[in-house]
Amino acid sequence: MNKRAKFELRKPLVLWSLTLAVFSIFGALRTGAYMVYILMTKGLKQSVCDQSFYNGPVSKFWAYAFVLSKAPELGDTIFIILRKQKLIFLHWYHHITVLLYSWYSYKDMVAGGGWFMTMNYGVHAVMYSYYALRAAGFRVSRKFAMFITLSQITQMLMGCVINYLVFYWMQHDQCHSHFQNIFWSSLMYLSYLVLFCHFFFEAYIGKRRKTTKAE
């Protein structure tokens, strides 16, 4: 396996990334519009505890599509392997755990789902657009890559905050969830936060220090 030549797969990768980018952009716009409406008309608590996100006229489609999309997103890993790129722990751990948690939470229609899905759609809209541009051969600023990682870190911080709010309001019978779900979700988001912060340091700060020392 190590001796085989790597596959370029440039055109399939462009198509793959572009498809996921367009899907994520539409998902972010549709779920984002719903969440903004709930926030503006009913407040933060309702936006966190709202279960109608799972069965609303428009949002239910994008909630279901979100859950289904986690399986084909594993295709990212296939491209990495076939192109003989470095497969880091963060990549496959993130993909697998999001897949399992999304399916696990969707069936229970737990609180916080609207926030989790909307944030993920938004970050993926930018991330897959970046991947598509890179695969197509465009030179993209390093700052754009840094922005994406910072967006992911912010998403993980927000995920921890939403979990706390769900837990707090669940104690007052105002949020539909259960301790087991909140525990696994919090553990997942905290682990992502640590891993993405470590990745940011290694990819952007650590390399800059090494370059400075070399000079």
Check residue 84 and give its pLDDT.
82
Check residue 213 and give its pLDDT.
47
Positions annotated as catalytic residues are 94
193: phi then psi, degrees, rounded to nearest 5: -60, -45
Measured distance CA(98)–CA(101) in Å, rounded: 5
Residue count (the chain): 215
Cβ of 49: how many Cβ atoms within 10 Å?
Answer: 20
Would you kindly state where each structural domain of the chain is located, as residue ranges? 10-214
Q: What is the mean pLDDT of residues 196-214?
A: 75
Check residue 182 and give its pLDDT.
96
Pair 21, 110: CB distance under 8 Å: no
pLDDT digits (tens, 9 = 90+) for 97-106: 999 999 999 9
Cβ of 97: how many Cβ atoms within 10 Å?
Answer: 16
pLDDT over 50 (residue 12)? yes
pLDDT digits (tens, 9 = 90+) for 148-179: 999 999 999 999 999 999 999 999 888 999 99
Check residue 215 and give its pLDDT.
46
Compare 212 and 62 and report the one with higher pLDDT: 62
